[in-house]
Chains A and B, each alone.
Chain A
Amino acid sequence: MKKYLIFLFILYTCFLFSQEILLNIKDKPNDDGSALLISWDTSQIISSKIIIERETSDGKFITITSSEEPIGTFEDGSKIITGIRYEYCLTAYDSNGEIIQITRTTGESSAQWFNKDKISLLIFALLITISIVYYIFSARSGKHLYIRKIAGLESMDESVGRATEMGRPILFIPGTLDLDDMQTIAGLTILRKLAQKAAEYDAKLIVPVCRSMVLSTAKEVVKEAFMKAGHPDAYDPNSVFYLTDDQFGYVAGVDGIIVREKPAANFFLGAFYAESLILAETGFASGAIQTAGTAMPSQLPFFVVACDYTLIGEELFAASAYLSKDPHQLGSLKGQDFGKAIFIIVLVIGIILEISGVHFLKDFLTLH
């Protein structure tokens, strides 16, 4: 009889427990402690709406979220401070708007020192960095490194020579993005070599820019290049000038320069958007020899069609090392090639595993 009563008691307790709302507050993993993850399960009761509130420092409750779903999660990232325990209150309502049940619980956020979601990124970054540094040191020790020819960069002499012979200027466009974009920096490193050649050949260089920060850097780069070429007097401070920050205003300005000045050689090296084809086609119509380079995949077809030479993606970034012939820089290119080999191997393995129904590599590489 006693055993029977105990069994009934346990059964009743389980029933009561099953009627409860589950409200969990967890720290959001791999963050700076500025968010909490709230999850609820009200499937055991018949509710039409739930409201979740959080207690503020003055003891009042503010609504964080509401939902009509019985099971759900919500990320509370509003003014969460690490180390403070927050109290949450979930109120469940029936279809008449009457409160069925109220559940309270607390949670605390914490900041992590390592983002475990990015472990694959860290491994790849380390592998590529180590390979680049290794090849830089190999190059320093005198090891011969083969670098394939890049036609677009080999043509620089031809372009400058043509401009000199024709007595026309060279136009250089360092893209339409600011100095915080790597493509702009890559463009400016090529500008330095081009300006040096222009100074040697005594050709006129025109560099209209659309960002003030790029203006200051481009001026410095061109000035130093003329000095290095031994022609500081030939440097014209007005050859590098600002047009406008506006995309199409800039295009109109550059097109005007192309039509009026008729440059013999145009260089479009940097980040481009819709303006790429307008610039390249105007240049094509003017009969200039054109070299373009960008890492914007959607703009590359336009440049390939309208320009004589196109630096595709990585070639733009390799240009500086390629032109300098500096072993250290060439070594870094070899390191990049090693990185490409790693990518190809991982891609092939990934394809095989995915076809076989094994998804661990895809899951491991996915950044959350």
Chain B
Amino acid sequence: MNVPLSWLSDFVDLTLSPRDLADRLTMAGVEVEAIHEIGDAWDQVYVGHVEEVTRHPNADRLNLVRVVAGERMLTVVTGAPNIAAGQNVPLALVGAQLWDGHAAEPKRITLKASTIRGVPSEGMVCSEKELGLSDEHEGIMVLPADAPVGTPLREYLGDTILELEITPNLVHDFSVLGVAREVAALTNQPFHPPLVPELPPPTDGGGTDGQPLVLITSPARCARCVGVLIEGVTVEPSPEWLQRRLTAAGLRSINNVADVTNYVMLEWGQPLHAYDRDQLAGGRIVVRDAAPGEQIESLDHVVRKLDEQMLAIGDAERAVGIAGVMGGADSEISDSTTNVLLEAANFNQYAVRYAMQTLKLPSDAATRFSRGLDPNLAWGAAARATALILELCPGARVTATADVYPEPVTARTIDLPYGEIKRLLGVTYPVAETIAVLERLDLRAEPLPAAGEAEPTLRVTVPTWRQDITQSADLVEEIIRVIGYDTLPTTLPTGRVVEPQRDPLRLFADEVRDILAASGLNEIICYSLTDEPTLDKLTFNTPWTTWWEGHRPNFAATRLVNTLRSDWQILRPTLMADALTKLAENLKHRATVRLFEVRPIYLPRELGQLPVEKLTLSIALGGVRSVRSLYSTAAENSEPLDFFDLKGVIEVLLRRLGFTAVTYTPSTYATFSPGRAAELRIDGELIGVFGEVHPAVAANFGSSAARTMLAEIDLMALLARLPQRAVRGSLTRFQATVQDFAVVVDEATPAGEVQEAIVRAAGPLAQSARLFDEYRGEQVPAGKKSLAFEVTFSAPNRALDDREMEKVRGRIAGMLQKRLKATLRQ
């Protein structure tokens, strides 16, 4: 809302500079978003009087104008068609800062002395556009006859506009009068409301059909409706002062009657509507529920369809307005209107908000109504508007009034136990100061007789325009916002200690992040929304399904109803797509990219139920294993990261988390290349999948890597299986024995099975087993391979001698033979 200080100062003396006033208001909760100065650049512009206009000797379309401004008398050349002797006009002297009247975009110019067609022009008479007042550049701006000739234009027309952001609770500040009342309270100045002549008391009838002028048939949704019938009105352009105030406040001038309704809305906060009474069937209005499907052409000439949740204004036959939102086109005030029915009503805020949102019509009136107006505003605002119309149309007269107000709202009282101030704020103020502050806000506070207690209770009477004050905490806020939050001390909470609890999942997630970052990966955090086509990019030749259950969820319960981007349709059920997208993006400027993300995925349940948010880990690797350096060969520099680089990361992660019994089995998930993907299982449970991304899938995401690695692991399932850390509490003093085992086995036998057989056969003596060589060739029969393991044996209570080792070796050989038809090479 824009509030011109010139208007505000009608009702309160402004004792602070605009900037200080803005700060004071903002600190107290009425936020000033901007301060606009009208005329701050009008340094060399004066109110001039046109003495004489003569034709330019060398140009038909130009005139020479003799202008007087105080002691100055100068001649300027102008092409303005509306220039005439006797006018008062804005006169710019050489050096004035103006806006370019011909430029499409706002452009500053400095007026220079010039000669136009052989005649020197000593200044310029200005259009509104050249002064920055509006876009009007058809002719020069003509000032009123009583404008003070010779004074700087800034003193006459300059103004300061406060642009306010009114929060939804402060509907009483949504008006010049409301802000004036606020300023009066905050600066401790008296408030001078406008003096308004009383309206004639309500009359019977008033409609041309004998019915009442105003009826309410939906009293639950309209608390009050005031009607004033004004006959003999002359509709014409508004006087300059009225136009200027509306323009300064950001509204467009229409005609004198419409302008008065807008003016009073801005001044009082009460929206009003003026009907051409002769266009109303029955010459009257009814506030009623809209009929389903009922249509009306609104003032903006759009046909709107109403429904029964909206409130309509009807005449005897049809809808003539959408209550609180916008009037109808065919009862609009026109140049030929002579009889006006003025309406000032109190419509239910929810009905208006519903209509405003459903019809997408956020009008000034609807914005005010939807915040809940004080029904007691309507009569005074109608009186103020009537007085202004009568002032502008001297022949007009009030012939009927109506006020339907079945349940008048009265001021309420709230008891504020004085201790509440200290209890909520941690500080208190003298009772007299508090009462004085409340009084400044029109909150009459009366100390109740204290019954032996040290601290009184204040009984506070709340005026009806303060609908936001309903309980004692609201009063405490009023007190502190006027006294100032700067008076609050800083203390730390005392009292009972909260029993410390730790969130295991959060700590686990942080541990995973730390391990992966220390392993050389970079954490990413991606947007949590995606769409189904993106998911289908994740699989080759089949629709996307989950890797854990192999089916596609019904996304109905995680689909957005409204969205900002076409690729934000559902909550993501996997982190994989984002991992591949970010991998591909970063590979455009990096030879190697290693990323991970720890965020929830969202698994839909039934419609109307919250989805399951499952904390998940994704890892994506791509690019070359070693960057070009002193220490790597050209061949090494072109070697791509592969399956085993990813498996190495996963092994480090699981080992650091304390997992020892992890199994890897082949995966056929359609994101991966067949034969290069694994399922990660713990206690037989599927915890995650990882592998080399299928080349077609990698291409879908634009990955430029020769091989693209991807993993997704369910961190909640992992946490659920987190082992107790088996810490080696003591060290054996006996030397461990290290032996190598070369195993000849069928080509197709996985190395993991060979290792498992060795470890199983060795029993508790085996401390570790490590595959260190793989050989195919002359020494080994065709179709076989030789796998070499280094196995470390030890016992806690003895050194292992040759005889014992011979037995172990025999057990291993037997197990390999029995399980895998494998033999030990000597």
Whether both chains belong to one complex is answered with no
